[in-house]
Amino acid sequence: MTKITVSGKTVEDAVQAGLRQLNLPVERVRIKVLEQAAKGLFGLIGAKEARVELEVIPDAVEEAVKFLRDVFAAMNQRVEIVRIDQEDHVRLDLRGEDLGILIGRRGQTLDALQYLVNIVANRSAEKHQRIILDAENFRERRKQTLEQLADRLADRVVRYRREVILEPMSPLERKVIHSHLQNHPKVRTYSKGDEPNRKVVIALK
């Protein structure tokens, strides 16, 4: 974590000098006053400048991007990371060739990488930032697949009047099923079991 100590005629002068040195706005630093300015004898002899310590507050998304670049370098993968700011989260789109290895079976590798990214990004950040990873538009394609599956299984539950238990899914995928069927007139959904084997159940209302 970057820290610098800066002096100035006043605390404000020292802070501004430090911000210029770091090239950051005041919101991105923690300020600690080490020593107040003091006038010397007759205003001249023994005068002391103010000293402050500026500590850079890590930016969650910057930390996430740095972590991903290190991971991709270790894997010898050339991946472009594109940041897209959303209302309640930041999406990092991974773009490049042969990204299947980063997605994994049904997105399991992508989910695991996303989990690690959020831990790394928020371990020192002042405000929690939710980060979603995507690659080759996988999230949207998977969402459509799950919604189609939910519709088919809901029809089966209504037709045969027997509940259906889906295979274990990640929390994100279970949420897709629950959200898609929450207003269905004839079926309801709930989850059962423990992670990582928690499953969605579709049953009659």
The encoded tokens of residue 106 equal 């049904």
DSSP-based three-state secondary structure for 101: helix
**Mean pLDDT, to the nearest integer, of 56-67?**
90
Alpha helices in the chain (DSSP H): 11-22, 60-74, 100-103, 108-122, 138-160, 171-181
Q: Which of 3, 86, 85 is nearest to 51 (CA)?
A: 3
pLDDT at 153: 96
The secondary structure of residue 58, as a DSSP letter, is P
**Mean pLDDT, to the nearest integer, of 60-68?**
92
The encoded tokens of residue 75 equal 């894997």
Q: Provide DSSP, 109-145.
A: HHHHHHHHHHHHHHSS-SS---EEEEETTHHHHHHHH
pLDDT at 42: 56
Q: Which residue has the higher pLDDT, 116 or 37?
A: 116
pLDDT at 190: 95
Look at the chain and count its residues.
205
Residue 204 backbone zone (phi > 0: left; psi -120 to 50: alpha; other: beta): beta
pLDDT at 43: 56
What CATH number is given for 140-204 in this structure?
A: 3.30.1370.50
CATH class of 3-56: alpha beta
Q: What pTM does this model have?
A: 0.71
Q: Would you kindly state where each structural domain of the chain is located, as residue ranges?
A: 3-56, 60-136, 140-204
CATH domain 60-136 topology: GMP Synthetase; Chain A, domain 3 (3.30.300)
Torsion sign, CA atoms 95, 114, 27, 39: negative
- Going across the sheet that includes 131-135, the strands are 79-85, 90-96, 131-135
Mean pLDDT in the chain? 89
